[in-house]
Amino acid sequence: MTDFLQSLPGQRWAGVDLLDYKPSGSAPFKAISRQVLIGDDTLACELRYFEIAAGGHSTLERHDHAHGVLVLAGSGACLVGGEIHPLGTHDLVRIPPWTWHQFRADAGSLLGFLCMVNRSRDRPVLPTESDLEGLRADPAVAAFIRT
């Protein structure tokens, strides 16, 4: 990237490509985009911006690598392990290794968040039917997750 990237309206940046969240059909998700804001070999992490449109959600998944998340815009909620947290601007979320997590935008608002992640990382794992049974043992989690 060049040394200065101007912010444009609507959480876009001059010179940053708007990317698919994941390849279509590779995992369950709905109405979410990805932008890599900071990512080159001078830093050991990447800073990505994900934006979920109203009513959309990220993939329910877990992996060995951790996430550090800061909400930049809108509102929604997230599942981290067995906990559900409502999310608003500048809230912080830590996703520890091997912890089930999913982000959802509110029905009437987008949810935009920064996600810091190691450049070198493993691939996410999707829940098995047995994992889903375990998660759904908690009625609040059962009502929250989208698969």
Q: Which residues belong to the active site?
A: 115
132 touches its own copies by CB under 8 A: no
5 touches its own copies by CB under 8 A: yes
124 touches its own copies by CB under 8 A: no
Cα–Cα distance measured from residue 141 to residue 96, given in angstroms and rounded to the nearest whole number: 18
Cα 53 → chain centroid: 12
Cα–Cα distance measured from residue 144 to residue 47, given in angstroms and rounded to the nearest whole number: 27
Q: Scanning residues 12 to 31, which ones bind its own copies (CB under 8 A)? A: 13, 16
Residue 27 main-chain phi, psi, to 5 deg? -165, 160
Sign of the Cα pseudo-torsion (89, 101, 26, 132, in order): negative
Contact map string, positions 53 to 82, toward its own copies, x by CB under 8 A:
------------xx-x-xxx-------xx-
Residues that bind its own copies (CB under 8 A): 1-7, 11, 13, 16, 37-38, 40, 42-45, 47, 65-66, 68, 70-72, 80-81, 83, 85, 88-97, 99, 114, 116-119
